[in-house]
Amino acid sequence: MATIDKIRNELIDKILSIRNKDFLEALDKLVSSSAFESDVVELTNEQKKMLEMSEQDIKSGKLISQEAMDKRNLEWLNTM
């Protein structure tokens, strides 16, 4: 079964190849008028685990400032 991202990307590719203005306008109306079931985003188990790990890092004080992270990243990039 195709993943949501794969289906979305395939649809985008197909839409990009359409040159019929009337068809695109009708498709736009269809997509715009469709009611979404929910605004809730479903997370994968991996995403949930990463969020749990982040929460643990916050609770245990394992944080650095954005400035320190930027400096660390620049140092790392300069070693390449």
**pLDDT score for 1:** 55
Are 18 and 24 spatial neighbours (Cβ–Cβ below 8 Å)? Answer: yes
Q: Enter the tokens of residue 12.
A: 């985008």
* Mean pLDDT of the residues in the chain: 88
Give CA separation, 44 vs 10, 16, 47, 49, 53, in Å: 21, 29, 5, 9, 14
Kindly tell me if the per-residue pLDDT of 19 is higher than 60: yes
Residue 48's pLDDT band (cuts 50, 70, 90)? very high
pTM exceeding 0.75: no
